[in-house]
Amino acid sequence: MGTEYGRFCGRYVDLAVAATDLSQLREVGIDETSCRCGHDDITVVFVTEGKDSQAVADFAEHPEARGGKPEQVLRASIDLLPAFLKGVRENLPKARITFDKFHFKRSRLRRSR
C-alpha cells in the first residue's frame, strides 16, 4: 500500500509542478529534507534527487520551460551545504543568499561543544 500511495502522490506532484507558471518566481528555498519534516506551507516547483551543485543547475533550467528565467530569482534560502552555495552562485546570478536558520543554529551549536 505504501508504494502505491507514493506513486499516486508522486504523479500528482509531477502534474502540479508541470502546470506551475514561474513567470513571477523571485524567491526560492532549496532544501533536501523539507518533505520529511512535515512542512505543509511550501509550494513545490521542482523536485530532483541529489544535493550537489548539479541539482541547483538542473533547477535553474526548470523555470525557462514555465515562463521564467534564472536571472529573475532575487533571493535564495539554502542549507549550509557548500554544493548548494556553489550551485546558487553559478546558476542564479542575481540571487541574494540567506542560510536556513535551522542549519545555521545547529552548526553554531556543534562548534560550541
CA pseudo-torsion sign 56, 79, 50, 83: positive
Query: Higher model confidence: residue 65 or residue 88?
Result: 88
pLDDT at 76 (0 to 100): 93
* Residue (of 96, 87, 102) closest to 37 by Cα position: 102
Q: Residues 5-44: pLDDT tens digits?
A: 667 777 777 787 778 888 998 998 887 654 455 555 555 6
Q: Residues 80-109: pLDDT tens digits?
A: 888 889 999 999 999 999 987 776 666 666
Q: Which three cell numbers stand for residue 58?
A: 538542473
Cβ–Cβ under 8 Å, residues 82 and 30: no
Buried residues in 44-76 as b, exposed as e (16+ CB within 10 A):
ebbeeeebebebbebbbebbeebebebebbeeb
pLDDT at 42 (0 to 100): 53
Identify the band that residue 71 occupies on the pLDDT scale cut at 50, 70 and 90: very high
Taking the whole predicted model, whether its pTM rises above 0.85 is answered as no
Identify the band that residue 1 occupies on the pLDDT scale cut at 50, 70 and 90: very low
Q: What is the mean pLDDT of residues 65-83?
A: 89
Overall number of domains in the chain: 1
Residue 33: CB atoms within 10 Å? 11
Q: What is the dihedral of CA 29, 31, 48, 68, to 10 degrees?
A: 10
**Which range marks the domain in which residue 22 is found?**
2-112
Phi then psi dihedrals of residue 70, to 5 deg:
-60, -30
Q: Which three cell numbers stand for residue 13?
A: 506532484
